[in-house]
């Protein structure tokens, strides 16, 4: 934290000294990956966005998304929806799981979500964001935060308006992904917008967008003055980014290190990640889900393409184990 704003939710002091969070990432930030990122030093991990409506209807698979591994002592839950009453009820349900904060998704650009008036559709109606935050605040004692994009499109940049509506309704923090809904994930994130918001709001602002290395995360904090950084794509296949950032907070003189990692460390981490996924999802589902993580872990490694070609057919731990052993052996054969 930059010292002028109150901490928005309960985390240990040392975590605020290295406020680097695993962002909510649908399809990735599940229980197993959050456990891995926690182990590697993320100050806090967010769940994937969870449907408020499905939670309220008691959908069993949706409730499973709220489970956490014992290593994840603290976590944050992100909800999406459009109806204040439904989000209030969902916030009550989530409260039983005691996250440090409940985050409202106002950024998802997926057409199906927008059609239902949720995600980035909310950017077009700042007053509705306020209504939802107020309803959630009234329904739970837990802090509520909001994750925004800069606007719907280039002609309707309104992050000051949407964040003000959220803050007036009681949001404890704002995350700003520096892109519009129309941009999706293309172009580059507007860090100047994050800087402008961080300078003007009374609550902490977390930056999101284009942080792919420890160097980027440090640069974002320095250039924008944001109070924390959410890392999404840059953490996939790279939970090591959190260790590097945590180390840097303890030894700033070391400077950000983004040097290549040993294939052995990558293989060990991937193996541990897969084992956790199997524990929670069962072997077959976990192995199918893990293919995208395996591809991310091996991206850019010598011989990685050949391993990935085999991984897309893996359905058992043993099949992955053969590939991970191959990866470890490749390290022995490198000069």
Which residues of this protein are in contact with ligand FMN, per CB under 6 A? 23-27, 48-49, 78, 105, 107-108, 147, 177, 185, 208-211, 231-234
Alpha-carbon distances, residue 34 vs 87, 239, 241 (angstroms): 24, 9, 13
CB of 32 to ligand FMN, least distance (A): 16
Cβ-based nearer residue to ligand FMN, 102 or 323: 102
Given the residues 37, 106, 108, 314, the one annotated as active site: 108
Query: What's the Rg (C-alpha) of the chain?
Result: 20
CA distance 114 to 202: 29
Report, in Å, the least distance between residue 211 CB and ligand FMN. Answer: 5
For the chain, give me the number of helices (H) and strands (E)? 15, 8
CA distance 65 to 28: 12
45 as an active site residue: the answer is no
Tokens matching residue 173: 């923090």
Instruction: Report d(CA 332, CA 307) in Å as an integer.
Output: 16
Smaller CB distance to ligand FMN: residue 110 or 331?
Answer: 110
Dihedral over Cα of 177, 178, 183, 185: its sign? negative
Structure-block tokens of residue 324: 């991970």
What SS3 class is residue 56? helix
**CA pseudo-torsion sign 237, 37, 146, 210:** negative
Those residues with Cβ within 8 angstroms of residue 250's Cβ, 6 or more apart along the chain or in another chain = none
Nearest-approach distance from CB 207 to ligand FMN, in angstroms = 9
Q: How far is the CB of 23 from ligand FMN (least distance, A)?
A: 3
Token readout for 195 is 């800087």
User: In Å, how far are 15, 144, 168, 190 from 211, measured between CA atoms?
Assistant: 19, 24, 29, 12
Name the nearest CA neighbour of 171 among 124, 103, 106, 225.
Answer: 103
Q: Smallest distance from the beta carbon of 306 to ligand FMN, in angstroms?
A: 25
Cβ proximity to ligand FMN: between 150 and 330 the closer is 150
Q: Could you list the active site residues?
A: 108
């Amino acid at each position: 934290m930059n010292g002028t704003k109150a901490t928005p939710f309960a985390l240990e002091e040392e975590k605020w000294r290295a406020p680097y969070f695993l962002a909510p990432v649908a399809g990735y930030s599940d229980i197993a990956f959050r456990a891995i990122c926690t182990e590697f030093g993320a100050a806090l991990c967010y769940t994937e966005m969870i449907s408020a409506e499905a939670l309220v209807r008691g959908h069993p698979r949706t409730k499973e998304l709220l489970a956490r591994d014992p290593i994840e002592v603290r976590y944050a839950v992100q909800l999406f929806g459009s109806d204040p009453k439904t989000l209030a009820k969902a916030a009550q349900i989530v409260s039983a799981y005691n996250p440090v904060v409940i985050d409202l998704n106002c950024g998802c650009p997926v057409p199906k979500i927008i059609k239902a008036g949720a995600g980035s559709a909310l950017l077009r109606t700042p007053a509705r964001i306020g209504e939802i935050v107020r309803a959630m605040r009234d329904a739970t004692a837990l802090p509520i935060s909001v994750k925004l994009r800069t606007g719907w499109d280039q002609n309707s940049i309104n992050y000051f308006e949407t964040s003000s509506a959220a803050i007036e309704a009681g949001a404890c923090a704002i995350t700003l992904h520096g892109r519009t809904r129309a941009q999706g994930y293309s172009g580059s994130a507007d860090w100047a917008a994050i800087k402008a918001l961080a300078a003007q709001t009374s609550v902490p602002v977390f930056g999101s967008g284009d942080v792919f290395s420890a160097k980027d995360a440090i640069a974002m904090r320095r250039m924008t003055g944001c109070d924390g950084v959410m890392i999404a794509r840059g953490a996939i296949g790279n939970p090591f980014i959190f260790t590097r950032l945590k180390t840097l907070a303890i030894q700033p003189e070391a400077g950000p290190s983004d040097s290549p990692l040993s294939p052995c460390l990558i293989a060990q981490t991937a193996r541990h990640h897969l084992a956790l996924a199997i524990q929670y999802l069962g072997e077959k589902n976990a192995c199918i889900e893990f293919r995208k993580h395996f591809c991310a872990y091996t991206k850019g490694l010598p011989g990685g393409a050949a391993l990935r070609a085999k991984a897309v057919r893996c359905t058992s731990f043993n099949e992955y184990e053969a590939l991970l052993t191959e990866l470890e052996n490749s390290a022995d054969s490198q000069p």
